[in-house]
Structure 1
Amino acid sequence: MPSSTVHLLRHGEVYNPAGVLYGRLPEFHLSERGLKMAECVAEYFAERAHDGARIVYLAASPLTRAQETAAPTAAILGLDIEPEPRIIEAENRFEGLRVNRSELAKPRHWPYLVNPFRPSWGEPYEQQAARVLDAVADAARVAVDRGGEGAEAILVAHQLPIWVTRLKVQGRPLWHDPRMRECTLASVTSLTVDTASGAVVSLRYAEPAAALLPGAATTPGA
């Protein structure tokens, strides 16, 4: 069975002093802490490569924070950052707002709150998982084409699409409490993929920047 490991890397901390839900809004850059997180991740993948991993493909969401997170890894591994729009942040009708009880209590938002299982305020969870899994399957095939059996790929993406993809792979309901996501800033969710079928056969999780998480901003992207 030809296989590849595809690492879903969440971006680092974003500079967001207003605490808004930034979603797909442009020009949300990494904070100083976020840049350090990106460096930690680069070192994590460099160690993997030193230990024999063949990491041959690096792609990122088009959003600024993902591109900036990918940059140190690209430099240390000597890879180009290739475009992958399918792993972009989820669409969300509350972009640009501070999402709290007082904001959501405004009647103009009520039509978007009727179905949290879909969810009605943004891109359906099923749609998010489907597009990310398509990108994962393609990345696995590209990695094997370029580096042979067992070669690896990195996709730099966003918390919500990564998390619902993990739930989908594990056969769990996609509706969830956002506070319970195991997908911290600059974390790595690694999927082993059967490149013949595109099926995910195993999953593991790591937090290369764990030392930088205390005190980090927790405002979600979507």
Structure 2
Amino acid sequence: MVASQVHLVRHGEVFNPERVLYGRLPGFGLSDLGVQMARAAADDLVERQRHVARVISSPLQRTQESAEPIAAAFDLPIDVDDRLIEPTNRFEGRRMRGAGGALRDVRSWPVMVNPIQPSWGEPFRSISSRMLSAITDAYRSVDDGDVVLVSHQLPIWMVHRTLARTSLPHDPRKRRCGLSSITTLAWQGDRFVEIGYANPAAELQAGASDVGAV
């Protein structure tokens, strides 16, 4: 037996008053608003009345904290899979826009030469490969029920584009992966397919800061 569905949950808003690209840097946990978002995602999963058999998170603080209300709702521990982590990025710890931002700094331009790869961080294909490997292992790891994986915007978006069979390079401003959103997958035939997308924290996002994603 294997899992019924796999739910990819993005973390909630991060406390980031300096508005830097935080990437894999330690010490970036959820804001108070982010905690509310994480609870909204947990409530959404509970309302579906599905049996959740396992909760797995990226090792970063913001995903661990986002997984907590989900794990508590289903009385489960939080397992960790390093493959769900945010990609590496050369601009970690820097602001991207505005005065002093990396986009205006000529010293940054050499690492921006190839947005197709991208040249400033982990290749898109690598992100997609490790995410799909983690998803497949999680899917096979339970005898019954659903699995929840708590990850980050770009890794989840790479899964979406891979399953949709569209090119991995993209405009990051057009990602459909809101804070605490839930992208649901199922196995159909010989492959995973995306069967749903929910944005349970949508009402909380109007005043949210979402500038730290890669």
**What TM-score range do you get, normalising by the shorter chain?**
over 0.9
| Aligned equivalent of 1:157 | 151
The one-letter code of the counterpart of 2:202 is A
Shift of the alpha carbon at 1:164?
Answer: 1.2
Shift of the alpha carbon at 1:46?
Answer: 1.4
Segments of 4+ in structure 1 off by > 4 A? none
Shift of the alpha carbon at 1:201?
Answer: 3.1
Aligned residues: 212
| Aligned equivalent of 1:139 | 138
Contact 1:41 1:73 in 2 (8 A): yes
1:4 match: secondary structure: coil
Aligned Cα root-mean-square deviation (Å): 1.7
Contact 2:59 2:85 in 1 (8 A): yes
Shift of the alpha carbon at 1:127?
Answer: 0.5
Contact 1:4 1:141 in 2 (8 A): no
| Aligned equivalent of 2:162 | 168
After superposition, the Cα gap between the structure-2 partners of 1:98 and 1:191, relative to the gap in structure 1 and judged at 3 Å, is: same
Distance 2:23 2:56 in 1: 19
Shift of the alpha carbon at 1:210?
Answer: 1.2
| Aligned equivalent of 2:119 | 120
Distance 2:174 2:91 in 1: 20
Structure 2 stretches lacking a partner, 5+ long: none
The answer to whether 1:204 aligns with 2:201 is: no
Distance 1:192 1:155 in 2: 13
2:4 match: secondary structure: strand
Structure 1 stretches lacking a partner, 5+ long: none
Contact 1:60 1:87 in 2 (8 A): yes
Shift of the alpha carbon at 1:3?
Answer: 5.8
The answer to whether 1:24 aligns with 2:15 is: no
The one-letter code of the counterpart of 1:206 is A
Distance 1:139 1:2 in 2: 9
Distance 2:185 2:57 in 1: 16
| TM-score, with length taken from structure 1 | 0.91
Distance 1:23 1:131 in 2: 17
The answer to whether 1:82 aligns with 2:79 is: yes
Output one character per residue of 1:15-48: Cα deviation in whole Å (capped at 9) or x when no partner: 0010000000001010000000111111111112
